[in-house]
Structure 1
Amino acid sequence: VPKYLMAAHLRGEAPCEKNGGVKKRRSDQADIPDSLRQEAETCYRLKLPEDFYQFWKFCEELDPEKPSDALVSSVGLTLVGPYDILAGKHKKAKSTDLDFNLHWRFFYDPPEFQTILVGDSKTQYHMGYFRDVPDELPVWVGANEAKKGCAISQVGDNVFAAVKLFLSKKLKEVTDKKKNAILKDIDEKLTRTAKELGYSLEQKTTKMKQRDKKVVTKAFHGAGLVVPVDKNDVGYRELPETNANLKKICKAIVDAPTDDERLKAFAPIQEMLTFVQFANDECDYGMGYELGMDLFCYGSHYFHKTVGQLLPLAYTLLRRNLFAEIIESHLARRREEEVDQEAAGMGEMIQSWACLVQLSHNQLLTHTYQTPFPSSW
């Protein structure tokens, strides 16, 4: 009997309680009450894969008191985001108006990305589930270092694979024998648990390769965009500029010495916006999606208004309404250049809630962005 099942029994919890009765779980399901699963998925309005719950139980075995912190001292990872719901942290929040669209959302995170693990705060390393469509399960787990840019790397199709890859790199870096032994022990436990549960530990699975074939463009973040394209090739048309040229155009806009120069530099973008209108009229919704995402990824506040015109519309046309809502919430907060300096210095509790990092005078600030709720959790 797994330790976490025994622990649940000792706490007097049934494997799954619903309407006063006991419902049998499938053998591949984690022992987490349906009510808690529903709460996590209702808060985010996103379906969570079974590996999300299984990994929580794995961390619960490592540290029954604080599963969220089970990997902090050894691996340097903290369970966050929807894991905060499983930990009950949302119930301790002072604010009644919690915006889960922004919870643990970093500066470059597109709506498709949902943070579940955070690492080094200096680079703002974090891992999250990446979804092409909000009402479907994630296609893989990605990683980003917000202080370095918008690039999202694929690190496996489940959280076990992602942490395994992270552990493997960590083991190569650690020279201290004691720390190395601790990491090896966790690595062995994780590998064994993943195999028992039937999860692949490959960085790139067949399923991920199949998804790659559906990608119409890599976009600036490199994760790729997927849109429906019919047999007549309706659904996506290429931008008239390459990624390299588009970045040069963006740089010219941001670096312009005066507003007049900036307006002139914006002409190629304005022309592309006209092309996007034509594309939308002919159901090639992927074009506006790509341009909006690229400008979002470039990161400058000069593009926020244009992104706000492009992405919510693209998501709505693609019937990805939740993503439209997320990008609108994100842009509204992303535009604020003033960071709450007092909140930024209120100690480790607040520092641990890094949600959005602001651009001020075209430089990434190092302070924590305080959303309405994290600092009070």
Structure 2
Amino acid sequence: MSSGDHVVERKRSPSVHQDEEHDSKRAKTSEDDVHTNGSAHKKNGKHHFSVASSQSDSVGNETSSQAIHGIEQEHMQEVVENVYRLRMPKDFFDFWNFSCRTNPMNPRMALSAAGIELVGPFDILAGDVDYKPSNLLELQDLANTHWRYYYDVPEFQTCLRVTGMGSQLHYGYFRDDPYDLPVFVASNDAGKDCKITEHGGNLFAAVHKLIETMRDDPSIEDRTPLAELQEVVKLHAEKFNHSLALSVETRAHRQAVVTSTWHGAGFVGNEKSSSDNTLAKRHHLSDKDLLHLFEEVCREDDIHEEVGKQRKAKAEEKLDAIGKLTEKDAQDGIYDTTLELGINIFCYGNTILHKYAKAHLERGYELFGRDFFRDITKAHIEKRTRGDELSRLPMK
């Protein structure tokens, strides 16, 4: 992913669910907001995004067909970004074109030799989604949780899943801000834990690295198909000018992270953010302290005994008190602790804590002006599901 791939100057455009209060805060810019590489048009109180035709030139290079699995080339970027309400990087479309050439009959299974399946936004490019302009709003709502695994924070957008390994390993883009391009491609195995791991600045780099890991697996007897596939991925990465090395955007993210949070990828704040604005440094709350507190809130072994009820009530009171401390920080212009607390509660994963995770995440994203991440949080927690049956968009 290269910052030079998109030459249109970026201006922020609000999400479809943007509230009136936030609109008023951005009154000076809302009239000419641009969803980079396109425009945000307001109709009946809703924002609809269209992509400038010149930005679709990279989509379908060196491809002879006029339509790829149901979506005409010149409309692919427009349709995907309209449904997801997220800017998609050039490597996403290049990776699709690579997949179409590798397996013209079923591009989503072009990497089947490595057990990799293209999902998420690729479902739209494949023409598998029942898309029509009349059901766009419904699709937009469903896209918020389409292939969103249990521990996927709003910053994570699943694009690939790995099958046949008995895991819930999946890969996708990680964005610091919903109005920006991704900063790296990451992975998570929701069957194990909440950890998010970086894998390069584009899908080619991530897949190349994944196949390299598979080739090192001693349990795999015939590694020739993997070696051949890895070489094809490398050649197409070079062809489309995508580096397999660590990207500039990834390095910038690492330098700007306020705190790593429990999932490891951390979050980037604003101009007032600082590595000193953490729960540990401002309120002397270590990860160990929080973990113990969450365990006490979620204990159910002695909940029917008086001592158990008192212990749980005391833990809930302490968690509420921490919430008040983060709200006081927010009133003082420090938003970091609110979002950090929300992310860590979400990563703990227990449904008993969902009301706390929802409250602090929504508040944190609102404070940072990332309302679309707030909307994704709300939709995800309401439908948060373990497992890997996570297709939500209506299929043909």
Residue 238 of structure 2 is aligned to residue 192 of structure 1 = no
Please point out which of 67, 80, 87 is paired with 2:107.
67
For 1:25 and 1:144, locate their aligned partners in 2 and report how far apart those are by CA, in whole Å.
31
Shift of 1:171: 1.1
Unpaired runs of 5+ residues, structure 2, are 1-52, 62-71, 304-308
Shift of 1:236: 7.3
- Secondary structure in 2 matching 1:128: strand
Provide the residue aligned with 1:106 in structure 2: 149
For 2:391 and 2:79, locate their aligned partners in 1 and report how far apart those are by CA, in whole Å.
24
Please point out which of 35, 45, 58 is paired with 2:75.
35
Contact kept? 1:123, 1:147, Cα under 8 Å: yes
TM-score between the two structures when normalised by the length of structure 2:
0.75
Provide the residue aligned with 1:305 in structure 2: 355
Please point out which of 375, 378, 391 is paired with 1:325.
375
Contact kept? 1:28, 1:197, Cα under 8 Å: no
Contact kept? 2:208, 2:233, Cα under 8 Å: yes
Please point out which of 290, 299, 309 is paired with 1:255.
299
Provide the residue aligned with 1:345 in structure 2: none
Shift of 1:46: 0.2
Shift of 1:205: 3.3
Provide the residue aligned with 2:257 in structure 1: 215
For 1:370 and 1:195, locate their aligned partners in 2 and report how far apart those are by CA, in whole Å.
32
For 1:315 and 1:26, locate their aligned partners in 2 and report how far apart those are by CA, in whole Å.
31
- Secondary structure in 2 matching 1:89: coil
Provide the residue aligned with 2:173 in structure 1: 129
For 1:28 and 1:92, locate their aligned partners in 2 and report how far apart those are by CA, in whole Å.
23
Shift of 1:174: 5.8
Shift of 1:67: 0.3
Provide the residue aligned with 2:18 in structure 1: none
Contact kept? 2:59, 2:77, Cα under 8 Å: no
Which of structure 1's runs of 4+ aligned residues deviate more than 6 A? 23-27
Q: Structure 1 vs Structure 2: percent identity of aligned residues? A: 31
Do the aligned partners of residues 225 and 197 (structure 1) sit closer, same or farther apart at CA in structure 2, a change above 3 Å counting?
same
- 1:1-377 to structure 2, matched below 5 A, reads 30-31=60-61, 33-72=73-112, 74-91=113-130, 97-98=138-139, 99-120=142-163, 122-173=166-217, 179-202=222-245, 204-230=246-272, 237-239=277-279, 240=283, 241-256=285-300, 257-258=302-303, 259-334=309-384, 356-357=385-386, 366=387, 368=389, 371=392, 373=393, 376-377=395-396
- Secondary structure in 2 matching 1:182: helix
State the Cα deviation string for residues 128-160 of structure 1 (Å, max 9, x = none): 100010010000000000010100000111000
Do the aligned partners of residues 165 and 33 (structure 1) sit closer, same or farther apart at CA in structure 2, a change above 3 Å counting?
same
Q: How many corresponding residue pairs?
A: 318
- Secondary structure in 2 matching 1:91: coil
Unpaired runs of 5+ residues, structure 1, are 1-22, 335-355, 358-365
TM-score between the two structures when normalised by the length of structure 1:
0.78
- Secondary structure in 2 matching 1:266: helix
